[in-house]
Structure 1
């Protein structure tokens, strides 16, 4: 803008004061701005000399300002920031099977924490650039702000998650799942609708504040809808009427210090030499200490405490409960390497 204004001032000044042709005025303007000094096309009048003197001073101020802006851009980290954004974008383009979390508020941040603890690769979509910047500056390898997000790089796409281009930048076509935890239900509906259109095979989990939004989210393409406020109120009520049940659930959800872990294993992930064995013959509890609490059959039927004589088959999924050590032992002894 400053360069254009300088060019216009020069053209007008040389044309009006010295009565140069448009070509000569343009030539004198460019040589003056560039400080080349090839000489005047025609000798200047007194008024022309005064104009050129002030015109040169003006251009020196413009150059000084541009140098100042450029220095600030380079040394205050803006250039480094752009390079970092470009590098992050290139890394995300190589992701496949990752999980996208839209919205980095309390719910989104908790989801991010749990996913990272389980070794998932996560891309965050957040519109508040300042929020992500403050979190990045606060990371020091320790948990901060009590939000459970410790040190480590957060792959972030800054933008509105309701825009298709932003979801595409986050790699929605290659992602395995998407969690939309935006504050407004309408935005979550829009994200679910857009994400489903961009990736028909994507697993979509959506947050809702109101019960009336649940059906809309499911119609928009969400696989599951979670209502944190409703869950919170039900949790508090159950602490009064069935406190021990809730304490046990807290162990499973990780809200207690001595947390338990729920794990699942598809039949196809089980060691081949274990195929054809019944629940009794697998003897998971004696070998690992973990307990098979359920089994989802290939047809979708859920068996709670499956019969010991049941023989898992293709499509079945075992559901297990145990502490970290027990689940790790189960992984080593039963999962196909």
Structure 2
């Protein structure tokens, strides 16, 4: 599989080398047969004819030799033009750089663990990548569209795998056995269902978040093993309508999503990330609001249950996750004061 992939990447390069070698062999045999030159003399004539450098002939050519040389030169001009175009693509148009980056990213992906696999780099996939990058979460992008390579690796500088997501080998290359979650944003619901089934067969423990276009697909994706199914179109339409029906609620949500210039930040704070002085203490004892300016809007308790607007008497115990909200400077103050 690896050798086949390498051949596909360097296919034009290999073809050009084979054309060069074939041309030299044909030229050498031609001069050897027609003019009865020695092997060295025939090879020399093939090289100077192919390269068109204009050195003198070893011996005067016969009529048959001149005819062969004329045809040989015409064919070699076409070969030479193809070889130059291929080499210029690799050297001057960034193809070599793309191949190098793909090689480097491939080695980095093999070392990744507990990362996220983002399948599809369309509108939804690109936004998912931006959020993951902003939160310093390791991820790799998988897409079959070669035209996106420059954007993914040179502009965004994301780790990526180029390949068909329906192939198990591509998912394995993306580290499906070591990943903790997979986000699939493929445009086709059928592809998302098939991909979810394939992923769950390879790694039953992985969390799958899938995009859906039709409501009827939600049940199928859930049955296939997706933990969360998102309908971007439905959410977008609802959001637009609520700008009229609930404008102040939407303004608050816009601030939370970062679309407002005075945006608020939502953060998850794990028990183990707190300084030892605050582990096992109550929210009241920590005095979070007065010391940092952020607000505790919820927490995930030891049983995995989410509690909205928790009491100030609640103990911050092992496995508890706090959800805080505030402006970025206040969140930074909280982190510097309370976190290790």
TM-score grouping bracket, smaller chain normalisation: 0.7 to 0.9
Given that 2:23 and 2:76 are in contact with CA atoms closer than 8 Å, whether structure 1 keeps it comes out as no
TM-score (norm 2): 0.77
1:116 counterpart (126, 129, 133): 133
In 2: Cα distance, 1:115 partner to 1:236 partner = 25
1:325 aligns with 2:326: no
Mapped contact 1:189–1:217 kept (Cα < 8 A)? yes
Choose which of 115, 118, 139 in structure 2 pairs with 1:101: 118
Shift of 1:71: 3.6
* Alignment partner, residue 103 of structure 2: 86
2:281 is the alignment partner of 1:277: yes
Task: Count how many residue pairs are aligned between Structure 1 and Structure 2.
Answer: 315
Deviations 1:85-129 (A, max 9, x none): 222222332333332222121111111112222222332222222
- The 3 A distance-change label for structure 1 pair 185 and 29 is farther
Matched, 1:314 2:330: no
Match of 1:142 in 2: none
Provide closer, same or farther for how the CA distance between residues 76 and 273 of structure 1 changes in structure 2, counting only shifts above 3 A. closer
What residue is the counterpart of 2:52 in the other structure? Answer: none
Aligned counterparts, 1:286-301, within 5 A: 286-301=290-305
**Residue number in structure 2 paired with 1:243:** 247
The DSSP-based 3-state class of the residue aligned with 1:272 is coil
Structure 2: distance between partners of 1:35 and 1:96: 55
Counterparts of 1:169 and 1:158 in 2: how far apart (Å)?
A: 10
Structure holding more helix per residue = 2
Q: What is the CA-CA distance between 1:281 and the residue it aligns to?
A: 1.8
> Secondary structure, in 3 states, of the residue corresponding to 2:277?
helix
Q: Which runs of structure 1 show a deviation greater than 6 angstroms over 4 or more consecutive aligned residues? A: 7-14, 26-32
Matching residue of 2:263: 259
Task: State the Cα distance separating 1:226 from its structure 2 match.
Answer: 0.9
Corresponding position of 1:133: 150
Q: Write the distance in 2 (CA, Å) between the matches of 1:159 and 1:294.
A: 41
Cα distance in structure 1, aligned partners of 2:133 and 2:139: 7
Alignment correspondent of 2:169: 165
> Match of 2:236?
232
1:193 aligns with 197
Q: Which runs of 5+ in 2 are unaligned?
A: 1-17, 50-57
- Asked if structure 2 preserves the Cα contact closer than 8 Å seen for 1:33 and 1:59, the reply is no
Matched, 1:57 2:76: no
The superposition leaves residues 271-311 of structure 1 with CA deviations (integer Å, 9 ceiling, x where unpaired) of 23323322222222122111111122222222111122222
SS in 2 for 1:273: coil
Aligned: 1:211 with 2:228 = no
- Equivalent residue number for residue 54 of structure 2: none
**SS of aligned partner of 1:113:** helix
* Alpha-carbon RMSD: 3.7
- The alpha carbon displacement at 1:261 in A equals 1.1
User: SS of the counterpart of 2:77?
Assistant: helix
In the aligned structure 2, how far is the partner of 1:215 from the partner of 1:87? 39
Alpha carbons of structure 1 residues 303 and 84: separation in structure 2 relative to 1, 3 Å: closer
TM-score relative to the length of structure 1 = 0.77
- Deviation digits for residues 54-79 of structure 1 (CA, Å, limit 9, x no counterpart): 56435643663464245424344333
Instruction: Give the unaligned 5+ runs of structure 1.
Output: 21-25, 140-151
